[in-house]
């Protein structure tokens, strides 16, 4: 009996240690741990910096998609990025009648690949400093380096900087950005 309790305790410790490893290499995002064994949506809902993005993903009906197998690279704008849009833009996009437009905006932040920052940096270098990135939404972004930071320029000239890179997910990777990328006007 004593040994079985000891084994149970050791097993519980091993499981909790493995759970801790799931996010050991991931940066914190929005004050929350990001777990590599959870999907994009499961992690994003815990970030206090991504409440607007999560609300938009729900309004667009993209939760199930972003919980899917992937792989996905998501360039995830923080709340402050949405606040930089003209007054009323977010409220307008969140209306049911604008679901198609909202979906287009959001899918311009998603690439159907698992692209960590080292790989993106190599592609930028291999392409002479400017790597075209086609998104799931059909937008063409231009990835460049600004010092050690990756930047993305949308078709309207808006430039987003990756502020937190390589947030590993079970179905891809999140790179936190400081500007909302928009489809061609």
Model pLDDT for residues 59-118, shown as the tens digit of each residue:
999 999 999 999 999 999 999 999 999 999 999 999 999 999 999 999 999 999 999 999
pLDDT surpassing 60 at residue 4: no
Q: Name the one residue in this structure whose structure tokens are 């991504």.
A: 50
Q: Where are the beta strands (DSSP E) in the chain?
A: 72-77, 110-111, 131-134, 140-146, 149-153, 159-169, 172-177
Domain map (residue ranges) of the chain: 27-177
Supply the pLDDT for residue 3: 46
27-177 topology per CATH: FAS1 domain (2.30.180)
Burial string for 96-123 (b: 16+ CB within 10 Å, else e) reads eebeeebbbbbbbbbbeeebbeeebbee
Phi, psi of 173 (to 5 degrees): -150, 145
């Amino acid at each position: 009996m004593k040994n079985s309790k000891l084994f149970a305790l050791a097993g519980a410790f091993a499981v909790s240690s493995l759970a801790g490893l799931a996010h050991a290499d991931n940066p914190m995002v929005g004050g929350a741990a990001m777990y590599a064994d959870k999907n994009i949506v499961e992690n994003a809902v815990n970030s206090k910096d991504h409440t607007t993005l999560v609300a938009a993903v729900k309004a667009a009906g993209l939760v199930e998609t972003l919980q899917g197998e992937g792989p996905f690279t998501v360039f995830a704008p923080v709340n402050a990025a949405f606040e930089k849009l003209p007054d009323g833009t977010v409220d307008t996009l969140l209306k049911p009648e604008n679901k198609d437009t909202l979906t287009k905006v959001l899918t311009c932040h998603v690439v159907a690949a698992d692209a960590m920052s080292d790989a993106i940096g190599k592609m930028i270098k291999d392409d002479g400093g400017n790597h075209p990135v086609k998104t799931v939404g059909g937008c063409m972004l231009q990835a460049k380096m600004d010092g050690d930071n990756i930047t993305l320029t949308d078709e309207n000239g808006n430039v987003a900087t990756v502020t937190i890179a390589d947030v590993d997910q079970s179905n891809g990777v999140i790179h936190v950005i400081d500007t909302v990328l928009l489809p061609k006007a």
